[in-house]
Structure 1
C-alpha cells in the first residue's frame, strides 16, 4: 500500500529528519524528571513550537512528543490510563503543523522502549509488551500520524513486540536501535544482527531501519557503515547525537557544533543512510546547517574510519561490536528515559 513516507522518500531520495525532543523541551522549561508527554495537553503551544522548529529549519519529517507514552512509563506519573489520549494529541498537534507547512512533511509517531526488561531476562511478557505498543500506536494513528517511529531500542525481543503492536494498529512504521555499548546495543546486538533481525520480521518489517542516539556521531556512522556492509535493501536511518554530552554548570550540554552536524549529515548520506537527522542535543540551528549541507554538498565515497575521526572526533571504543572477543556482557538494567 502507498505510504506518504515512502512516497516522499522516493521523490526526494534522502530525507532530513528532526533533532532532539528532550533537549529542546528542557530549553522551554521542562523540568528533569517530568513526563514530556503531559505537555501535549498542558503546554500544547510549546509542543507545536517544538515541531515547527524542525519544519522551519528544513526537516522533511519530525517525531511526535510521545516517546514515553506507554503504560509502564506513564505509571510513574500516575498517567497510565492516558496512553491513548496523550499519543493521539501528540499526533494531532503534529498533523496541524505538517498540514500548514506549505510542503510535504511527514508526521512520525515516536515510540520509545517500555522501560522494562522482557522475558526471559526480565519479567515483561511478550503479550503485554505487544499490547503496550499497540495502545500507543493506535493513539498515534487516531491522531493522524503518517507512520510510527520506534526508537532507542536495545533488545530484539522488544523490537519484535513493537512490530506486532504496529501491525495490530494498522500503522506502517520505521524502527531504530541504540548502539551505545562498544558498537553494540545494551543487550548485545551488532549492526549485522539488526539487519538479519529486520529481514526475519517478514511482513512485519519496518519501512526503514537504523540507529539513533548512542554515543557520538562518529560511533553512529560506524554503525551505519556496518548496516550498509550487509547489503541492506531497506532504507537506512541515521539519527546521531550532536556530539558528546558534557556536564557544564549543572546541565548536560552536547558539544557538537552546527558545522560538525553538517559534516555528519553529508557523511551519513555517503555511508548509505537515506533518512538523516539528529538526536540528543540537536537543535534547529544544527538542522539548518544539515539541510544546507545536504542540499549543496556532495561526497562520492563512503568515509573511511580515519576520515570520520578526523571530521567528527574519536570513537568511544576501539571495537565496532563485531569482534567476538570484545563482546560486552548482557546487562539486565532498565534503560533510563532518553535525554533527547
Structure 2
C-alpha cells in the first residue's frame, strides 16, 4: 500500500510542512533545560495545540514532539526507560489531530540526533545508534506516525544509522541535515555529498534536504546545491525564520511572515517539493507561506544567488562548502524589512 506522503507527492507539485516546535512550546511555558517530550504525557493539550496550529495554518505535514526522544537525550532527564512510551504518545496525539482535520495530513515522526559523537571521533558506535533510533521508530510507529522524519543530522554515519533503523522498523522516512558551518554540516558534509549518499542507502528516504542552519538564504543556496546534482528524489527545505536575536531575555527570530512567504516561493523555485519552516516559524509565518505558494506563479528558471540575497539577505559565508562562489555576503542593513 502506498504511504500517504508518497500519495500526496504524486498528487501535488509542492507540499507545505510545519514550523518550529521549540519556539511554540517555549511560548507555552516550556522552560529551557526541560525535555519537551515529557509534555506528550504531562501536558497533552499543549501538544495538541502545537500540532493543530500548524494544520490550521495550512501544513500538509507536521512533525511530532519527539525530536529528542532517543535514549541518549532522555537519559539527561532520567527518562531513558520511557522512549517507547513518549514517542508513542507523541504520534498518537498527532494521529488524533490529523484524523480530525478533514483532509489528508501527514504525521511525521520527528527523529533528531542522539547528541553523541560517532566513532572514531567519539564513543557512539554505529550499532548503538541504530538501536536507539530503532527503539524510537517503533514507538512512533505504534502511535500511528505515517513516516519517520530524521532531522538536523550532521554526521553521515548517524544519518545512515537512522536509515537502517527505518528499515528495521519497516517505515518510510525522510531525512534532512543541518548545513550550518559555511555551507557544510558540522561534520563537513556538503549538499553534493548528501545528494549522492542518499542513493547508496539500502532504504533511501522518500525525500531529503536541509533544515535549520543559519538563515533562509543559506538554506536555499544548499537547496540549489541539491538540485544541481540532478537527483529526481524530492527535496526538502525547512529554513529558520530569519536570524536569532536576544531580546528581553528571549531568543527572537527576525523573519517576518512576508519574508517567509518570499522564502517559500523561492524554495519551490529552487527545486524543493516539501517546504516548511524551522526555528522561529509560527503559524502566522505558515499562513503567509501557504498563501504565497498557492497564489504566486512558479518561475520558469531557478533563482540566482543574487535574487535570493536581495529577497532574504546575503549569505553568512563566502562559499556553499563546495568551493563555488556564494554571491553577496550577508549585510544586515540591506535586508528588506517588512512589518
Query: TM range, normalised to the smaller chain?
Result: over 0.9
The 8 Å contact of residues 69 and 136 in structure 2, kept in 1 or not, is answered as yes
The 8 Å contact of residues 319 and 325 in structure 2, kept in 1 or not, is answered as no
48-57 vs 312-321, which deviates more?
312-321
SS at match of 2:120: coil
How far, CA to CA, are the matches of 1:74 and 1:314 in structure 2?
A: 37
**Hey, what does 2:90 align to over in structure 1?**
90
Q: Are residues 325 and 50 of structure 1, via their aligned partners in 2, closer, same or farther at CA, if it must alter by over 3 Å? A: closer
The 8 Å contact of residues 71 and 132 in structure 1, kept in 2 or not, is answered as yes
9-18 vs 282-291, which deviates more?
9-18
1:58-207 correspondence to structure 2 within 5 Å: 58-201=58-201, 203-207=202-206
The 8 Å contact of residues 242 and 282 in structure 1, kept in 2 or not, is answered as yes
SS at match of 2:162: helix
The 8 Å contact of residues 167 and 203 in structure 2, kept in 1 or not, is answered as yes
**Hey, what does 2:296 align to over in structure 1?**
297
How far, CA to CA, are the matches of 1:126 and 1:133 in structure 2?
A: 11
SS at match of 2:66: coil
How far, CA to CA, are the matches of 1:218 and 1:193 in structure 2?
A: 20
Q: CA shift at 1:204, angstroms?
A: 1.2
How far, CA to CA, are the matches of 1:265 and 1:94 in structure 2?
A: 24
1:173-322 correspondence to structure 2 within 5 Å: 173-201=173-201, 203-300=202-299, 301-322=301-322
**RMSD in angstroms over aligned alpha carbons?**
1.2
How far, CA to CA, are the matches of 1:55 and 1:117 in structure 2?
A: 35
The 8 Å contact of residues 91 and 145 in structure 1, kept in 2 or not, is answered as yes
1:27-42 correspondence to structure 2 within 5 Å: 27-42=27-42
97-106 vs 297-306, which deviates more?
297-306
How far, CA to CA, are the matches of 1:318 and 1:261 in structure 2?
A: 23
Q: CA shift at 1:9, angstroms?
A: 1.4
TM-score, scaled relative to structure 2 = 0.95
Q: CA shift at 1:325, angstroms?
A: 12
How far, CA to CA, are the matches of 1:235 and 1:324 in structure 2?
A: 23
How far, CA to CA, are the matches of 2:296 and 2:208 in structure 1?
A: 25
1:329-340 correspondence to structure 2 within 5 Å: none
Provide, for residues 206-226 of structure 1, a one-character-per-residue CA deviation record: whole Å limited to 9, x for no partner. 000000000100000000000
Provide, for residues 247-278 of structure 1, a one-character-per-residue CA deviation record: whole Å limited to 9, x for no partner. 11111100000000000000000000000000
Provide, for residues 1-35 of structure 1, a one-character-per-residue CA deviation record: whole Å limited to 9, x for no partner. 51110001111221000000000000000001100
Q: CA shift at 1:299, angstroms?
A: 3.5
How far, CA to CA, are the matches of 2:270 and 2:6 in structure 1?
A: 20
How far, CA to CA, are the matches of 2:290 and 2:19 in structure 1?
A: 12
SS at match of 2:302: coil
SS at match of 1:30: coil
SS at match of 2:152: strand
How far, CA to CA, are the matches of 2:154 and 2:297 in structure 1?
A: 33
**Hey, what does 2:333 align to over in structure 1?**
none
How far, CA to CA, are the matches of 1:280 and 1:307 in structure 2?
A: 23
Count of aligned positions = 325
Q: CA shift at 1:324, angstroms?
A: 9.1
Provide, for residues 80-123 of structure 1, a one-character-per-residue CA deviation record: whole Å limited to 9, x for no partner. 00001000000000000000001000000000000000111110
The 8 Å contact of residues 267 and 299 in structure 1, kept in 2 or not, is answered as no
How far, CA to CA, are the matches of 1:50 and 1:243 in structure 2?
A: 21
The 8 Å contact of residues 85 and 139 in structure 2, kept in 1 or not, is answered as yes
Structure 1 runs, 4 residues or longer, greater than 6 Å off: none
